[in-house]
Structure 1
Amino acid sequence: MLAYRSLVILVAIAVSIVGTGCSPDEPAPTPKNVEIQPCDQASTTPYTFDLPAHFPPFIVSNNNLTTVEGVALGRRLYYDDRLSAGGPLRGKSCSSCHPQSKSFSNNAPGTSVLPHTNLNWSSYFLWNGEISGGIEEAMMFEVVDFFQTNITLIKADKTYQRMSCEAFGTSDISEREMANALAQWMRTLISHDSKYDRYIAGIEQLTTQELRGEEIFNSVGDCFKCHTMPLTTDLMFHNNGIELAPTGKDMGRFNVTGDPADMGKFKTPTLRNVALTVPYMHDGRFETLEQVVDHYDSRVIFSDTLDSVMVVPGNVYTLGLSRNEKEALVAFLKTFTDTTFITNPKFSDPFK
């Protein structure tokens, strides 16, 4: 696996494009003497996940069981811009690039940020899967490498000392407790109450146009082969025909494995709240769902590692969708919008 540090530089550049305070703030002063409050043994409350029947079981970390107290700590850290006080991204929090209103994704032009949504089922993170393992590993990267957190500043905060004591039985919060708390919080970010989910549950009906879109999705469109239900992703890596001879970061999974068979492959993103998570593709090249559908309909570029779903021996890959069929497919994709998820107060900024 590549060293994380090279990735930090690339992501830092992307974050600077976002524009929410591109010039770093002055660094917060680091306390010289940190007084750690005494802590009794933690008494935690197991967190109860509310999942619909059609969702599969998810990965459970026995070394970091999700608790009400751990989630509360992780939520506060997620929204705290002091998380970045020690590094080059000063003044930014996780939520700066992953706001709730955008399904914990970002709409900045020229960038494409994978949403912090339904990560419980993932073992690979980032577009090329450079970080693997549990969410804990991904969050340790965020704390140590990406944000380069000034841990002393967090340790000195009495609120964090209390919350760490409640969640982990220690007031002396470390990078590990921070990563574990963030991982617990991220596990709660589950989108499962879209119109499509209510349709599956028999609570709501799709329109005639949406039903036609579903039919295309599951037949001629072949969308379902990579965007498997109900997560709307197979969590795997695919070359979807957007580059003939990719270079640099556009080489995707190849940059991690070095395997020529992985050239141009990227992780299948979730389609949940896809109408909110523009732009699309790993490089943000498409600004609308209509452009995405047009690509798969008639603009797929053949290469040696093009996904087998799109390989038609002796022919150019095309779906041949009519305008009405394209509109129906887009209408169906919009049924994955979960307004409950993006407005749920338990996922909101605790500082407000």
Structure 2
Amino acid sequence: MTADALPLRRWPRRVGYGLAFGAAGLAVLLPSGTAGAGLFFATQVLTPARWYPLVVRSVVDSEVELTRTEDTERSMPLGLAWRGGHAVLGDVVRVERNTVVRRVTSVVRGSLRAGLRAYTSGSVFEGDPQSVHGLPFTSVFVPGELGHYPAWVLPGSDTWVIGVHGRGASRVEALRVLPTLAATGVTTMVISYRNDLGAPASPDSYYHLGATEWQDLVAACAYARSAGARRIVLYGWSMGGAVVLNALRNEAVPDVAGLILDCPVVDWTATLRMQAAQRRLPGALTWSAIRLVEQRIGVRLADLDFSSFRPAVPTLVFLDGDDRVVDPAPTRSFAQGAGARLVETTGGGHVRSWNVDAGRYERELTGFLSALG
């Protein structure tokens, strides 16, 4: 499961359609039934829970046998996490009827053994810049609206790249690209925001889908400027892209020289409708869930639609055509309208373009930053 993914639990068809169509004769039943289904979906959106859908069937030497899923069949680098442990998966060795055998590149923490329940992660790595890549960094705390937010700072020039991870993820999402960023000579700051582990919680403990988190990014940018940043490049993964776009649209971050987005949430309504359709939720239940999300965060999702927003800075967008977490169509429209450089891969899924073709990803990233001067 990717960082921003909702667990794919389909609403029972007989229940969903009973609620939707039964309203014609028993109108009083629809609000309560719809609210129940909508509440379940809305809660998944705003309070991500960690699920462990995979079973480790066996471990022999450097190979692990896992539950066969769309994700475990992807022959690309992935992380494998379980309670108390983390490993890095390499190539697919073979695919059986119900299982997949993959190479284990390394076991970073814990003991990988049969019987464990686990999940896959496109972030691949676990740890910090020094432990994973040998990159020197400083742990800092950024003062913000709700308290102090932990961040990593990797030293470099007075151009600062500020990375913003996705919903339910963490700073480790940036570990894949830190060596490339360091090689360009920029300073890199990877931030956290409200409701992250180790960061202050919002008053309601809900993610606000970028509607409030952008204020924590603004605080990080202010910190960067106080530490010597003269130009800032914003880099957002998934919901981090919505955070970045919201800050830019609010003109809250001066001195922005460039924008990098990886599978950003450009249109929350389109994304939630796509995810609801994958769970076979009837239209009435989807409508209810979206209204509940809006009620809980106090913002209309239409106000978090960036499809027609045109950033006044050079923009690089990564996208995987097989993204089933965030609707890719609004991102393509955004990139075209904004005159952005769009780099699209296939076969990876959400925020997995690096995993599909790390060489291409890193060349595009390096070239974009070099062109900024």
**If the TM-score is normalised by the length of the shorter chain, which range does it land in?**
under 0.3
Higher strand share: 2
**TM-score normalized by the length of structure 1:** 0.25
Higher helix share: 1
